[in-house]
């Protein structure tokens, strides 16, 4: 019989281990196996491989969808519109303007240094990405909880602006990094900087350093001074904000920052920077910037002549720079004067026009940089008594004469009774005297006698009122609204003896290769009235200036004109003509708030007289001819 195995401590221990084994396996199943985790790091799982493959595929996709660099460099641009004065000088350009490429070797060293010191101070030491700037920008943006600082290098800006779209997507950012690394690998630093300087936007429609130098300073890029280079480098942050033509003070402050950056980078000494900042530079692009209201008007009219523009064009206009300067200076001086401030006059506009309708000068407001609204060619305002010459012209056509005597007395029309500025009635008075003293009641009586519809027909024929003007007696007082350019055109027709006038500013349009796309035909104008009736009117309008309400407009030469003032002094006008041109001045406020008793015979007449005198004689002649 077999002997039974004794239950020793060892066997008991073994038994205990066997009994506890299931618990041990359970603990192992729910715990973290560090050994297997280590093996996983040594041998990537299929998920890691899938992730890596996905990233690789995405990067290949981003690289494959990069634009053709050669094509991007030669990418087409919008057509450019260059507007020239009558003498051929450039007034303005619209559309992208690219200058000739610059060579870094031909530039003063401080020109590229100003850009590098401000835009990318470590440009020559990084590999296309500036890690320090990225970390700094990320920290700043995190603290401020918004994008307060960027970190793009010049290389990245070349990649982004020259080759990629402006859409902010993750793919574009990846492509930007790829292109930056490609550029750094295939081009030298100087080549990258050259591409940047030749294609970066400097504001005001200009791309590239050469175009910017000529736009803002009228010099070649290689002739830029240290201060000018600092201004242009400062533009890159915000081209509109730091435009030296529109915002010289802001541009100067920004230039000082650029000069300080250059000194900090060791490109110039602190003394050189201070001297340059103090000396400054006079901004000037060689263009008549006072003509921007005119050039905007021309640009808006171009489609009517050519349709959609697909090539660069040059437009020769009718504008006379000397006249434009005089008109601008006189309007500006008047609006900045004590009388305008005291009498609450904030705006003015002026037009000078040849007898055939050619616009020789045009000012659309006080300050183009603050308001581009063209009050000469866009605003429609009541014209007041400037319509009265056409009321009396209608009467003369029907047989009346300036010497005819009428009885000035109260008029009552369906509850409306016109009043005179003097507050009284004149009794027996000639049509001549009634017009030179702008007697409202006689003008209304004359319109009623001639036929209000006939007066309206005459006014429309001369273009001084629109189709919305109604045939009512109040038309004789200028209640209809008209543009300044149209009322001046009506007076231009008076100046040429009664031949119809349509205002125009374009003489010729040339294509990119010099071919003539449009040339104005001077024919086709109609006679509106027998010139002998114009002669009758002229004799009266001469005395408006010599003896009547327009004495302050006397320019010292033979001139004819008429004052105009609307209800509550909301508008004040003076429009007139000489043998050579017609001209008109309007003053008022954009919100139509009343001025303080400003009449057409006051500020507008004064401006008109000074303008006509200076463009007819000597621009420096400030004599007073109102007493002649």
Sign (positive/negative) of CA torsion 164, 168, 170, 173?
positive
Lowest model confidence (mean pLDDT) among 213-217, 234-238, 284-288, 387-391: 284-288
Please give the Cα distance from 375 to 372 (Å, whole number): 9
Residue 626 predicted with pLDDT over 90: no
Mean pLDDT of 525-545: 95
Token code pair at residue 169: 């997507």
For 187-228, the pLDDT digits (tens) are: 889 988 998 898 888 988 788 898 888 888 878 899 999 999
CB 587 within 8 A of CB 348: yes
Q: What angle is formed at CA 156 by the lines to CA 154 and CA 158, rounded to 5 degrees?
A: 70
Q: What are the structural domains, with CATH classification, of the chain?
A: 98-279 (1.10.3810.10), 385-477 (3.40.710.10)
Residue 362 scores a pLDDT above 50: yes
Give the pLDDT of residue 1.
45
Return d(Cα 275, Cα 285) in angstroms, integer.
23
State the distance between the two ends of the chain, measured CA to CA, in whole angstroms: 162
pLDDT mean over 584-602: 97
Residue 5 has pLDDT above 50, yes or no: no
Lowest mean pLDDT among 45-49, 212-216, 463-467: 45-49
Q: What share of the chain is helix, strand, coil (3-state, %, to 5)?
A: 50, 15, 40
Mean pLDDT of 25-46: 54
CA 309/CA 81 separation, integer angstroms: 9
User: What is the rounded distance in angstroms from the CA atom of residue 493 to the CA atom of residue 537?
Assistant: 13
CB burial string 303-340: b at 16+ within 10 A, e below: eeeeeebeebbbbbbbbbbebbbbbbbbbeebbeeeeb
Is the confidence at residue 124, as pLDDT, over 70? yes
220, 101 in Cβ contact below 8 A? Answer: no
pLDDT at 438: 96
Spatial strand order in the sheet of 201-203: 97-98, 206-207, 201-203
Taking a C-beta distance cutoff of 8 angstroms, is the pair 273, 263 a contact? yes
At residue 28, the pLDDT reads 46
Residue whose pair of structure tokens reads 């009343």 in the numeric block: 594
Q: Which stretch of DSSP H or E encloses residue 342? A: helix 338-342
Q: What is the pLDDT of residue 9?
A: 46
Coil, strand or helix: which one is 127?
A: coil
CB-count burial class (<10 Å; 0-12, 13-18, 19+) for 204:
buried
Average pLDDT score over residue span 518-545:
92
Note the pLDDT tens digit of each residue in 469-492.
999 999 999 999 999 999 999 999
Both structure tokens of 239: 């081209």
Q: Pseudo-torsion of CA 594, 246, 358, 588, nearest 10°?
A: 0
Provide the angle, in degrees to the nearest 10, between the axes of the packed helices 270-279 and 226-235: 90
Q: What's the pLDDT tens digit per position in 150-178? A: 558 888 888 777 664 455 555 556 667 77
Give residue 25's pLDDT. Answer: 47
Backbone φ, ψ for residue 314 (5° rounding): -115, 130
Label residue 514 by pLDDT band (50, 70, 90): confident
**Model pLDDT for residues 226-242, shown as the tens digit of each residue:** 999 999 999 999 999 99
What mean pLDDT is predicted for residues 34-39? Answer: 56
The answer, yes or no, to whether residue 522 has pLDDT greater than 50, is yes
H or E segment at 361? strand 359-363
For the ranges 25-29, 135-139, 176-180, 247-251, the lowest mean pLDDT is seen at: 25-29
The per-residue pLDDT for range 420-438, each reduced to its tens digit, is: 999 999 999 999 999 999 9
Alpha carbon distance 429, 410 (integer Å)? 14
User: What pLDDT sits at residue 247?
Assistant: 87
The rounded distance, in Å, linking the Cα atoms of 254 and 209 is 18
Please determine, for residue 68, whether its predicted confidence score (pLDDT) is greater than 80.
no
Q: How many CB atoms lie within 10 A of CB 272?
A: 15
pLDDT tens profile 193-203: 998 898 888 98
* Cβ-contact 395, 432 below 8 angstroms: no
Q: What is the DSSP letter of 470?
A: -
Check residue 245 and give its pLDDT. 84
Q: What is the pLDDT of residue 479?
A: 95
Share of the chain above pLDDT 90, in %: 58
The contacts found for 587-594 with CB under 8 angstroms, 24 or more apart, are: 587/334, 587/340, 587/345, 587/347, 587/348, 588/345, 588/347, 588/348, 588/381, 589/344, 589/345, 589/346, 589/347, 590/346, 590/347, 590/371, 590/373, 590/375, 593/344, 594/344, 594/568, 594/569, 594/570
Q: How far apart are CA 321 and CA 480, in angstroms?
A: 33
* pLDDT beyond 80 at 48: no
Asked if residues 376 and 293 have their Cβ atoms less than 8 Å apart, the reply is yes
Neighbours of 431 (CB within 10 A): 23
| Separation between Cα atoms, residue 345 and residue 334, nearest integer Å | 10
91-110: average pLDDT: 83
Strand ranges across the sheet with 81-84:
90-94, 81-84, 313-317, 506-510, 516-519
Q: Chain-wide mean pLDDT for the chain?
A: 84
pLDDT top residue among 4 and 104: 104
Please say if the pLDDT value at position 493 is more than 90: yes
State how far the Cα of 18 lies from the Cα of 1, in Å rounded to an integer. 29
Answer whether residue 268 shows pLDDT above 60.
yes
Is residue 284's pLDDT more than 90?
Answer: no
Q: Would you say residue 138 has pLDDT above 70?
A: no
d(CA 276, CA 265): 16
- Residue 2 confidence class, pLDDT cut points 50, 70, 90: very low
pLDDT at position 453 over 80: yes
Q: Cα(234)–Cα(58) distance, rounded to whole angstroms?
A: 38
pLDDT: which is higher, 561 or 98: 561
């Amino acid at each position: 019989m077999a002997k039974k195995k004794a239950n020793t401590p060892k066997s008991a221990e073994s038994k205990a281990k066997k009994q506890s084994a299931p618990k041990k396996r359970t603990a192992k199943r729910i715990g973290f196996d560090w050994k297997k985790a280590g093996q996983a790091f040594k041998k990537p799982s299929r998920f890691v491989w899938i992730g890596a493959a996905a990233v690789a595929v995405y990067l290949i996709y981003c690289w494959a969808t990069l634009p053709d660099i050669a094509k991007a460099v030669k990418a087409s641009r919008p057509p450019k519109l260059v507007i020239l004065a009558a003498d051929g000088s450039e007034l303005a350009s619209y559309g992208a303007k690219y200058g000739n490429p610059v060579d870094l070797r031909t530039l003063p060293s401080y020109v590229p240094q100003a850009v590098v010191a401000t835009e990318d101070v470590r440009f020559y030491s990084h590999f296309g990405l500036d890690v320090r700037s990225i970390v700094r920008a990320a920290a700043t943006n995190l603290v401020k909880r918004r994008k307060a600082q960027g970190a793009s290098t010049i290389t990245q800006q070349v990649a982004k602006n020259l080759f990629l779209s402006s859409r902010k997507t993750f793919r574009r950012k990846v492509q930007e990094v790829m292109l930056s690394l490609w550029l750094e690998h295939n081009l030298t630093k100087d080549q990258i900087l050259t591409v940047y300087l030749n294609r970066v936007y400097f504001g005001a429609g200009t791309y590239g350093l050469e175009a910017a130098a000529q736009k803002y300073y009228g010099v070649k890029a290689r002739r830029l001074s240290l201060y000018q280079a600092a201004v242009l480098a400062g533009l890159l942050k915000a081209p509109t904000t730091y435009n030296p033509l529109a915002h010289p003070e802001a541009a100067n402050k920004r230039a000082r920052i650029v000069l300080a950056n250059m000194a900090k980078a060791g490109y110039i000494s602190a003394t050189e920077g201070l001297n340059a900042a103090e000396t400054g530079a006079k901004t000037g692009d060689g263009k008549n910037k006072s003509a921007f209201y005119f050039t905007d008007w021309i640009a808006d009219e171009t489609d009517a002549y050519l349709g959609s523009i697909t090539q660069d064009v040059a437009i020769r206009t009718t504008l006379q720079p000397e006249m434009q300067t005089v008109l601008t200076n006189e309007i500006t001086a008047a609006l900045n004067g004590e009388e305008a401030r005291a009498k609450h006059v904030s705006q003015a506009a002026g037009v000078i026009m040849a007898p055939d309708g050619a616009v020789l000068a045009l000012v659309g407001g006080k300050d183009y940089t603050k308001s581009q609204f063209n009050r000469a060619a866009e605003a429609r305002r009541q014209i007041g008594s400037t319509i009265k010459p056409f009321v009396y012209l209608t009467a003369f056509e029907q047989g009346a004469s300036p010497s005819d005597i009428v009885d000035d007395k109260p008029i009552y029309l369906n509850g409306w009774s016109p009043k005179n500025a003097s507050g009284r009635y004149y009794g027996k008075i000639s049509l001549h005297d009634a017009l030179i003293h702008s007697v409202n009641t006689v003008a209304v009586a004359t319109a009623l006698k001639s036929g209000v519809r006939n007066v309206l027909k005459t006014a429309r024929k001369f273009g001084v009122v629109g189709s919305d003007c109604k045939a009512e007696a109040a038309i004789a007082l200028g209640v209809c609204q008209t543009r300044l350019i149209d009322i001046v055109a009506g007076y231009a027709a008076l100046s040429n003896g009664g031949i119809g006038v349509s205002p125009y500013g374009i003489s010729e349009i040339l294509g990119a290769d010099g071919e003539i796309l449009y040339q104005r035909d001077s024919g086709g104008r109609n006679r509106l009235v027998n010139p002998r009736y114009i002669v009758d009117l002229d004799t009266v309008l001469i005395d408006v200036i010599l003896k009547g309400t327009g004495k302050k407009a006397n320019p010292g030469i033979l001139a004819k004109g008429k004052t105009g003032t609307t209800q509550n002094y909301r508008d004040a006008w003076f429009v007139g003509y000489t043998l050579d041109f017609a001209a008109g001045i309007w003053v008022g406020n954009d919100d139509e708030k009343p001025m303080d008793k400003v009449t057409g015979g006051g500020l507008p007449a004064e401006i008109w007289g000074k303008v006509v005198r200076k463009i007819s004689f000597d621009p420096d002649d400030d004599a007073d001819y109102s007493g002649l």
